[in-house]
């Protein structure tokens, strides 16, 4: 029995909400609140036909702490699931603290306006001190640690696949497979084809900002930054086949490096097709990925937001995407004094996801871990107050839930390593 408030009703939230409503014994009451209430109403109406979960809907601007506090105080949830955008993380955390309720999200904070001079000053200092220049980093949310501890509340950060499940795989490897881990390669492969020359699988603005940023990895206690897409490898993925993959900066590298300081090298690779890369480079070259507003025919527009309006809605890719994803982690390290390698991953089929929840596998592989993270907090399986990323927590109940709700793990003790 629980009462959960979900904020956001986009591609990922749709999957998480559908999965929550299929487990009404845990999610007995649920409110869907988002900027566009009509989307919440359409989903709620559909789900009420089959689910025992009592579903309500509301309109909320999650950039406004006051609106959030009003909504949370009136609904009185046991947990707030933030599945809106990373821009809203801090306002929702503030509102949760004020209303004394646990918080979770799927991606770490980044500002919507990267030209804001206050934010930029802190960002530029961080770039110099830390050595990576992605717009997102954990410092903003880690700064809430003491406030959540003092309030006896939990903020669970990044309960998606990557970040999220990848960190649970790290904790699982550490708990069951290794005494010490030396290297971690996180491999995110999307072997799906949606038939468009260019489309993003989740929110285009967030996605394009992430992949057009310089890449970086962690080695021997510091960051090494490289130009975007300048390290390329090939890998033969189980059930997908041979793919080109590129080294990216990714948020979980930062938290894994902090929480497992023994690890000498952590890298993140994502697969991209040539058409995606060619389009992205061209759009970047002409300024379409810029977040800085420009005047167009007397009206201010933000180029990347305009581009988002032109691109296919990620939620519409479901019926046309075929193929599989394969996401996981390859480890090297030691057990009982001997060298050891280990690979743990999940393979997910786009069309099977669509048949189950009317969504492609990218939203599915994010929405299911969000749904699985919620009961960890609701049932007290994860109950240490503070702000936590998933590698800090016991991976077993979470991985068990993932196995049960659609993202089963596969393991190999003799993987091909990435050179
Ligand atoms: P979408 O753009 O599809 O959905 C975002 C939702 O948030 C929409 O319903 C939108 O409302 C709502 N929203 C945006 N701004 C506000 C606001 N100010 N107040 C209230 N609601 C708002 O994004 P996705 O579903 O693709 O992504 C959701 C999250 O998941 C993102 O944070 C993304 O970074 C993260 N993600 C994490 C992954 C992981 O593996 N960890 C992988 C993929 C995504 P409206 O309908 O009005 O636009």
Whether the CB of 134 sits within 6 Å of ligand 1: no
Query: Which atom of ligand 1 is closest in space to residue 36's alpha carbon?
Result: 47
pLDDT of residue 219: 98
Whether the CB of 160 sits within 6 Å of ligand 1: yes
* Rg value, the chain, Cα: 20
Query: Which atom of ligand 1 is closest in space to residue 205's alpha carbon?
Result: 2
pLDDT of residue 65: 98
Tell me how far the alpha carbon of residue 60 lies from the centroid of ligand 1, in angstroms: 14
Query: Which atom of ligand 1 is closest in space to residue 365's alpha carbon?
Result: 40
Query: Which atom of ligand 1 is closest in space to residue 13's alpha carbon?
Result: 25
C-alpha torsion angle, residues 8, 14, 15, 21 (rounded to 10): 100
Whether the CB of 172 sits within 6 Å of ligand 1: no
Whether the CB of 106 sits within 6 Å of ligand 1: yes
Exposure string for 273-309, b = 16+ CB within 10 A, e = fewer: eeebbebbeebeeeebbbbeeeeeeeeeebbbeebbe
Tell me how far the alpha carbon of residue 8 lies from the centroid of ligand 1, in angstroms: 6
Q: Taking the model in full, what pTM does it have?
A: 0.96
pLDDT of residue 315: 82
Ordered by start, the domain boundaries in the chain are 165-349
Residues of the chain scoring pLDDT < 50: none
Residues 362-373 have pLDDT tens digits of 999 999 999 999
The answer to whether the beta carbons of residues 54 and 47 sit under 8 Å apart is no
The CATH-assigned architecture of domain 165-349 is: 2-Layer Sandwich (3.30)
Residues 334-393 have pLDDT tens digits of 999 999 999 999 999 999 999 999 999 999 999 999 999 999 999 999 999 999 999 999
């Amino acid at each position: 029995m629980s009462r959960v408030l979900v904020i956001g009703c986009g591609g990922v939230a749709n999957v998480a909400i559908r999965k929550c409503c299929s487990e009404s014994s845990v999610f007995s009451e649920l409110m869907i609140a988002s900027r566009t209430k009509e989307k919440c109403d359409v989903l709620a109406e559909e789900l009420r036909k089959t689910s025992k979960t009592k579903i309500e809907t509301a309109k909320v601007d999650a950039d406004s702490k006051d609106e959030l506090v009003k909504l949370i105080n009136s609904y009185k949830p046991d947990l707030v699931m933030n599945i809106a955008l990373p821009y809203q993380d801090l306002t929702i955390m503030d509102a949760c603290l004020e209303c004394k309720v646990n918080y979770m999200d799927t991606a770490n904070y980044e500002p919507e306006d990267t030209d804001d001079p206050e934010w930029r000053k802190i960002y530029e200092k961080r770039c110099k001190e830390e050595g990576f220049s992605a717009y997102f980093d954990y410092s903003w949310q880690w700064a809430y640690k003491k406030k959540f501890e003092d309030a006896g509340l939990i903020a669970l950060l990044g309960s998606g696949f990557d970040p999220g499940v990848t960190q649970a795989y790290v904790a699982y490897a550490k708990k069951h497979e290794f005494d010490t881990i030396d290297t971690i390669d996180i491999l995110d492969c999307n072997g799906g084809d949606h038939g468009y020359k260019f489309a993003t699988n989740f929110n285009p603005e967030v996605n394009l900002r992430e992949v057009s940023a310089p890449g970086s990895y962690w080695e021997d206690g510091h960051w090494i930054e490289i130009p975007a897409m300048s390290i390329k490898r090939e890998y033969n993925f189980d059930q997908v086949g041979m793919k080109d993959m590129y080294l990216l900066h990714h948020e979980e590298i930062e938290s894994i490096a902090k929480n497992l300081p023994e690890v000498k090298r952590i890298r993140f690779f994502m697969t991209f097709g040539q058409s995606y890369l060619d389009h992205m480079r061209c759009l970047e070259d002409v300024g379409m990925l810029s977040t800085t507003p420009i005047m167009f025919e007397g009206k201010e527009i933000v180029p990347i937001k305009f581009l988002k309006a032109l691109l296919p809605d990620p939620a519409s890719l479901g019926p046309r995407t075929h193929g599989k994803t394969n996401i996981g982690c390859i480890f090297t390290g030691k057990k009982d004094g001997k060298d050891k390698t280990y690979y743990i991953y999940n393979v997910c089929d786009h069309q099977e996801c669509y048949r189950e929840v009317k969504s492609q596998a990218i939203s599915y592989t994010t929405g299911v871990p969000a749904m699985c993270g919620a009961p960890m907090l609701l049932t007290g399986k994860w109950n240490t107050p503070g702000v936590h990323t998933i590698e800090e927590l016991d991976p077993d109940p979470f991985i068990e839930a993932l196995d049960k709700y659609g993202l089963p793990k596969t393991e190999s003790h003799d993987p091909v390593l990435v050179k």
